[in-house]
Chain A
Amino acid sequence: MANLTLVQAINLALVQEMERDDRIILLGEDVGLNGGVFRVTEGLHKRFGGHRVVDSPLAESGIIGTAIGLAMAGLRPIPEIQFEGFLGPAYDQLCSHAARMRTRTRGAFTVPMTVRVPVGGGIHAPELHSDSPEAIYAHQPGMKVVMPASPYDAKGLLLSAIRDPDPVIFFEPKRIYRAFREEVPEDEYTIPIGKARVVCEGDELTMISWGASVIQCMQAIEKSGRSVELIDLRTIYPFDMEAVAASVSKTGRAVVVHEAPRTCGFGAEIATRIMEECFLSLEAPVQRVTGFDTIMPYYKLELEYLPETERIGLAVEETLAY
């Protein structure tokens, strides 16, 4: 057991899984000698060699497109896209091919690929290095979307993603890459895709979040002094509605928190599902605390945009007072 950051936990998961499975190839911009711009793949090039940890040409569609070919041939590629803002060029390969392959070939060809992507704001990064596009990919059938909020979860979820027979986008919240450490077992363990985590129990209100926002939620809950149950979704698609419904049926109130813009954000889906499945339990409308329907601002104003503890705290008050 070691006390690890989220970056180190992912690195450990990659090392252990690459030792276990020689079908795994890492590819991406700067993932080799440089160990990735966030150092997530640090040391892997030296350990596994340039044939398994591959510095690719600077082309996101090329990275995902070749990874699809590798996966179709039976390997387990783990492409890295350097920032979520550069996932756009690969959108066509992800959605027109990776996500559809199993369905359109009736299972003759599949794409067991894990796309690692740093995501989200809060680190004073340049333009297009702070967005939250998870809902875009959750909307694409055939694609799983995962986002851990802790080092322990990151390791267990990444192993599940790599072993998943279908394409998974593994979003890594860069705001908490090194924000805190946590005990992460050396031993192998997995966290199933599609299962949420109850971060803290409560009976007045259910708060649902994922990624770096989970930390903001924890702080807001502590400040509020109220009995709030916090659910870290961990997987955006397929999301754990059972856990959400069980909690909201108990508390009767729900607040969803995410960094992405509000309109068509994944909170909209969760709110709708709560309405469908917990209508008779609700004591208040489902509240959303999200990024605004604006362009993610440059970093001077990013905290104005992100759902910080104050705004989350307001939602708790408003929802409880309804």
Chain B
Amino acid sequence: MPIKTAFKTEIEHVSILDEHGQFDAKLAEGLIPDDDLLALYRHMTVCRHLDEVAFKLQRSGRMGTYPQNMGQEATSLAAAYVLEKTDWLVPCYRENAGLFWRGVPMEYVLLHWMGDERGNAIPRELFCTPLAIPIGTQMLHAAGLAWAAKYRGEKQIACTFFGDGATSEGDFHEAMNFAANLDLPVVFLCQNNFWAISVPGKIQCSAPTLAQRGLAYGMHCVQCDGNDLFAVAKVVKEAAARAREQSRPTFIEAVTYRLGDHTTADDARRYRDQAEVDLWKARDPLIRLRGLLKEKKLWNDSKEAELLEFAEREVAGAVQRAEGIEAPATTEVFDHTFATLDPQILKQRETRRTSSLGQQSGRSASHAPAGGSH
């Protein structure tokens, strides 16, 4: 018997606006109107400025550890831009641009990194789940959220974000497998930024692309330039349609780069070459978008100067709101453990300042022996 090919495929790479300013107007047709393009550019600039301010806040002791988003803004923003306002965004922690576009107030994210859970109390009507800290776990929640929409017969879908490192986690594979086999409307959007803290992508995956990980699950998969707002918008739009109309998931590998350190607690100079960083600085999503806008005569230096002033005001306002929030009540430690607190937690809550253990004395009246002397 001859040996036949059992399966063969190709992985597409989508690029519309590249780092040299080459723009494929045909592929971009109908994707992003000029007015929106301006708004998206302005939004990305504000997000970039927030990163700079957040870094300084951390260094000056006004904020805890913070993960800069710098360089990756286009990916989550393009996704949030093309999705419906009622589609779930299920982020990791480097998706500021997408979350703010959806309407999550900037101070929420600041509060989160300022050590305040109120930053996670995202209004339900925004359909954004809170930042997820354990790597790769939130994709399963996206599968469940999408499943709930399907169960209810709603046309809502879920889009979840994660990095290259997360594709090594078991939960990533379980989420992909559940979504594919149970026909769940999920968009898996991997932001391949090349570095999981200090560990390079080759330690996470030996295949030539991350995108092809989707193949193993019988899922449509595609790679795109993650620093290209148009390319991400195109592939997410197609994936969203596939999810909404056919209830099928898609795996997208958006190739981008983490221009900053992993977090403010990291120093990337310990493990990567400046030459590599410089290469990617030239591929910055903001630079190419600004170039396109100038080419379209939609942008100039004075508008840029105005925008930077605007960004400063916006971010300063958010910082002021985050820092100005009243201190959390000390009872907040207890109050959200359960919908109704049990007697033990209530006792700890009541006596937290009056007893060394946060407990009432062992000689409490209710359980004292009846008249015995011991």
Interface residues of chain A, those whose CB is within 8 Å of chain B, are: 25, 51, 54, 56-57, 59, 61-62, 64-75, 77, 89, 92-93, 96-97, 102-110, 141-142, 144, 164-166, 194, 237-238, 241-242, 245-246, 249, 252, 275-281
- What residues make up the interface of B, taking CB atoms closer than 8 Å to A? 117-118, 120-124, 129-130, 132-134, 137, 139-149, 151, 158, 170-171, 174-175, 177-178, 181-182, 332, 336-339, 342-345, 359, 362-364, 366-370, 372, 374
Contact across chains for A106 and B367 when beta carbons are under 8 A apart:
no
Q: Which residues of B contact A96 (CB under 8 A)?
A: 133-134, 137
Nearest CB to that of B156 among chain A residues?
Answer: A73
Q: What are 6 inter-chain pairs, A to B, with CB distance below 8 A? A: A59-B177, A66-B141, A70-B144, A70-B151, A106-B118, A278-B362
Q: How far is the CA of A13 from the CA of B124 in the complex (A)?
A: 31
- The smallest beta-carbon distance between B157 and chain A, in angstroms, is 12
Complex contact A245–B337 (CB within 8 A) = no
For B362, give its contact among A65, A142, A166, A277 (CB under 8 Å): A277
Contact of B181 with A241 in the complex, beta carbons under 8 Å? no
Q: Chain B residues with Cβ under 8 A from A275's Cβ?
A: 362
Contact of B177 among A57, A70, A71 (CB under 8 A): A57
In the complex, the answer to whether B342 meets A238 with C-beta atoms within 8 Å is: yes
Q: Which 10 A-B pairs have the closest CB atoms?
A: A69-B144, A65-B140, A238-B342, A73-B148, A62-B174, A66-B144, A69-B141, A165-B339, A106-B121, A108-B121
A93 touches B362 (CB 8 A): no
Known: A77-B144, A278-B367. 10 other contacts (CB 8 A): A59-B174, A69-B142, A96-B133, A102-B338, A105-B120, A194-B343, A275-B362, A277-B367, A280-B369, A281-B367
Judging by beta carbons under 8 Å apart, are B141 and A68 in contact?
yes
Residues of B within 8 A of A97 (CB): 132, 134, 137, 141
Which residues of A lie under 8 Å from residue B359 when comparing CB positions? 276
- A62 CA to B177 CA, complexed, in Å: 9
Q: Is the CB of B363 within 8 A of A57?
A: no
Pick from B140, B336, B363: contact of A107, CB below 8 A: B336
Q: Hey, which chain B residues are within 8 Å of A73, CB to CB?
A: 144-145, 148-149
Given contacts A105-B117, A281-B367, contact A56 B178 (CB under 8 A): yes
Measured between C-beta atoms, what is the minimum distance from B359 to chain A in Å?
A: 7
Report which of B122, B146, B342, B369 forms a contact with A194, defined as CB distance below 8 A: B342
**Residues of chain B lying within 8 A (CB to CB) of residue A166:** 338-339
> A104 vs B122: C-alpha distance in the bound complex, in angstroms?
11
Q: Which residues of A contact B140 (CB under 8 A)?
A: 61-62, 64-66, 68-69, 93
Known: A65-B143, A69-B146. A281 touches B117 (CB 8 A): no
**Which residue of chain A has the shortest Cβ distance to B126 in the bound complex?**
A108
Known contacts A54-B182, A56-B178, A102-B339; A93/B137 CB under 8 A: yes
Q: Using Cβ atoms and an 8 Å threshold, which residues of chain A touch B364?
A: 277
Is the beta-carbon distance between B137 and A65 smaller than 8 angstroms?
A: yes
Residue of B nearest to A167 (CB): B338
Cα–Cα, bound, A56→B145 (Å): 16
Cβ contacts under 8 Å, B339 to chain A: 102, 110, 164-166
Docked-complex contact A66 and B130, CB < 8 angstroms: no
| Beta-carbon nearest neighbor of A245 in chain B | B367
User: In angstroms, how far is the closest chain A Cβ from the Cβ of B316?
Assistant: 26
Inter-chain CA distance A280–B369, complex, in Å, is: 7
Which chain B positions have C-beta within 8 A of A281?
367-369, 372, 374
Choose among A25, A59, A65, A74 the residue with the greatest number of B CB atoms under 10 Å from its CB: A65
Chain B residues in 8 Å Cβ range of A104: 117, 120, 130
Contact assessment for B149 and A66 in the assembled complex, using a CB-CB cutoff below 8 Å? no
State in angstroms the CA–CA spacing of A248 and B133 once bound together. 44
Q: In the complex, are the beta carbons of B144 and A68 less than 8 A apart?
A: yes
Q: Inside 8 A of B117's CB, which chain A residues have their CB?
A: 103-106
Residues of A close to B372: CB separation below 8 A: 280-281
Identify which of A105, A109, A280 contacts B363 (C-beta below 8 A): A280
- Which of B142, B171, B345 meets A62, CB within 8 Å? B171
CB pair A57 B178 closer than 8 Å: yes
Q: How far is the CB of B369 from chain A (nearest CB, A)?
A: 4
Q: Are B148 and A75 in contact (CB under 8 A)?
A: yes
Report if A72-B141 is in contact (Cβ < 8 Å); known contacts: A61-B171, A65-B171, A110-B339.
yes
Q: Are B367 and A51 within 8 A (Cβ)?
A: no
Q: Which of B145, B146, B177, B343 contacts A242 (CB 8 A)?
A: B343
* Minimum distance in angstroms from B121 CB to a CB of chain A: 4
Q: Identify the closest chain A residue to B364 (Cβ).
A: A277
Asked if A241 and B343 sit within 8 Å, CB to CB, the answer is yes
Residues A106 and B336 in contact, CB atoms below 8 Å apart: yes
A75 and B151 contact, CB distance less than 8 A: yes
Nearest CB of chain A from residue B136's CB, rounded to whole Å: 10
Complexed CA–CA distance, A241 and B367 (Å): 11
Residues of B within 8 A of A107 (CB): 121, 336
B337 to chain A, nearest CB (A): 6
